[in-house]
């Protein structure tokens, strides 16, 4: 399985280290997977659509917010 590197600031790293019971690689993998799935749905919904790039960006931000909230809930 390929590896990727994710950069986080010192404060976030300190917070992560306070929770060694969490598999942060898995949390990251799940967040990426959810983002990819959301993008694929968006691609399907917007193919042939008359939405502007701004409309799509607004929708994407709402999806990102929802995904972030879901990851936070799952990691608690």
What are the sequence ranges of the domains in the chain?
Answer: 50-76
- Residue of higher predicted confidence among 45 and 16: 16
Which residue has 């799940």 as its token pair?
30
Q: Supply the pLDDT for residue 28.
A: 96
Inform me whether the pLDDT recorded for 49 exceeds 80: no
Inform me whether the pLDDT recorded for 43 exceeds 80: yes
Inform me whether the pLDDT recorded for 74 exceeds 90: no
Q: Supply the pLDDT for residue 15.
A: 97
Inform me whether the pLDDT recorded for 17 exceeds 90: yes
d(CA 32, CA 36): 6
Q: Supply the pLDDT for residue 75.
A: 81
Q: Supply the pLDDT for residue 27.
A: 96
């Amino acid at each position: 399985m390929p590896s990727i590197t994710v950069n986080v600031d010192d404060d976030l790293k300190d917070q992560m280290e306070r929770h060694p019971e969490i598999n942060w690689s898995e949390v990251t993998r799940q967040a990426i997977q959810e983002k990819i799935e959301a993008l694929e749905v968006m691609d399907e919904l917007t193919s042939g659509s008359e939405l502007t790039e701004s409309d799509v960006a607004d929708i994407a931000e709402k999806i990102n917010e929802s995904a972030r909230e879901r990851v936070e809930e799952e990691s608690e």
